[in-house]
Structure formats: structure tokens, C-alpha cells
């Protein structure tokens, strides 16, 4: 599946390490080396507590908040934000079929699959992963 390549290329948690380092420096003035995904998740969680994503109505912002919440190991917030993103209205093609968002691991389909997986809903996760795989096949074919 192309999803394995997407995951390997995006490196979600370690890809956030430079952002987390900048946040750590801004929050406490020190610079620390972040080698453990737990360090990144803890700093990201601390940052996300300062951001009011809950008042957003834009599905893109809600999906981004859900994905970042998953990376910060805040599963309940991720599930809530993903549910709100889905309820925000019918998903437009531009939200779900964005090549660059997909390339960088920010596809709503990936977020929905990971949220379903966090709920223990393997059938739902498989559904979204298969949808994402179909989308990646199109992206690969079209270049």
C-alpha cells in the first residue's frame, strides 16, 4: 500500500521535532535536544493547551487540530475535533483531495483513519485507509 510510503515520508512525530524545539525554547528559554517521540508529544500537548481550536468552524483547522492532538496523545480531543470537522458540512473535494496536504501527512482521510483506529474501530480505519490508498493511486498516476 502507498500508505506505508506516506507514513515513512511524513514522519509525523519526528517531523514535528523542530517545531517542538522552537516551542520549548520559546516557552522556557532553554534549548533541549529532542530525541524521544514522548518529548515531542509532551511539548506539543503543552502548546495545544494554549490554542483554542474548539471554537473553529473550518473543517481544515479542525482536522489539523485533530491530527496534532493525536500526535500529542490527546485522543479524546482528537476524536471530538474530527467529529466536528465531519459535521461542519459536506466535505469539499479541496479538503479531501489536496495533493500537498496528502504529501505532508495532513490528509483528512489519514486523520479520520487514525482517529477511527484510536477508537478501536478497525473497520472504519480500514475504510479510510482504503480511500486514502485510492487517492494516492490517482496522485501517483497523475504525477
Q: How far is CA 37 from the centre of its chain?
A: 15
In the numeric block, the cell 495533493 is attached to: 99
Asked if residue 36 has pLDDT above 70, the reply is no
Return the half-sphere exposure (C-beta side, CA atoms, 13 A cut-off) of residue 106: 17
Confidence class for position 138, pLDDT limits 50, 70, 90:
confident
d(CA 21, CA 6): 24
Confidence class for position 48, pLDDT limits 50, 70, 90:
confident
Query: What's the mean pLDDT in 12-22?
Result: 47
pLDDT at 81: 93
132 exposed, middle or buried (CB, 10 Å; 0-12, 13-18, 19+)? buried
Q: What rounded mean pLDDT belongs to the chain?
A: 74
User: What percentage of residues in the chain have a pLDDT greater than 70?
Assistant: 66
54-110 pLDDT, tens digit each = 788 888 888 888 988 988 888 999 999 999 998 886 555 566 677 777 777 788 888
d(CA 101, CA 39): 25
Query: What's the mean pLDDT in 27-33?
Result: 51
**Architecture of the structural domain at 2-142:** Alpha Horseshoe (1.25)
In the numeric block, the cell 500537548 is attached to: 45
- 8 A C-beta contact, residue 65 and residue 74: no
- 8 A C-beta contact, residue 2 and residue 137: yes
pLDDT at 120: 93
> Is the pTM of the predicted complex or chain greater than 0.75?
no
Domain residue spans of the chain = 2-142
**Pick the residue with more confidence: 59 or 4?**
59
Confidence class for position 12, pLDDT limits 50, 70, 90:
very low
Amino acid at each position: 500500500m502507498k500508505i506505508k510510503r506516506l507514513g515513512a515520508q511524513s514522519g509525523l512525530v519526528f517531523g514535528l521535532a523542530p517545531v517542538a524545539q522552537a516551542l520549548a525554547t520559546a516557552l522556557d528559554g532553554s534549548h533541549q535536544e529532542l530525541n524521544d517521540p514522548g518529548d515531542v508529544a509532551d511539548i506539543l500537548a503543552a502548546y495545544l493547551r494554549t490554542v483554542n481550536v474548539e471554537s473553529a468552524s473550518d473543517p481544515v483547522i479542525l482536522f489539523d487540530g485533530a491530527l496534532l492532538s493525536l500526535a500529542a496523545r490527546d485522543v479524546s480531543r482528537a476524536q471530538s475535533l474530527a467529529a466536528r470537522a465531519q459535521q461542519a458540512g459536506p466535505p469539499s473535494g479541496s479538503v479531501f483531495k489536496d495533493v500537498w496536504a496528502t504529501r505532508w501527512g495532513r490528509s483528512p482521510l489519514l486523520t479520520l483513519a487514525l482517529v477511527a483506529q484510536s477508537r478501536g474501530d478497525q473497520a472504519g480505519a480500514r475504510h479510510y485507509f482504503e480511500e486514502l490508498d485510492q487517492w494516492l493511486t490517482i496522485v501517483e498516476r497523475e504525477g
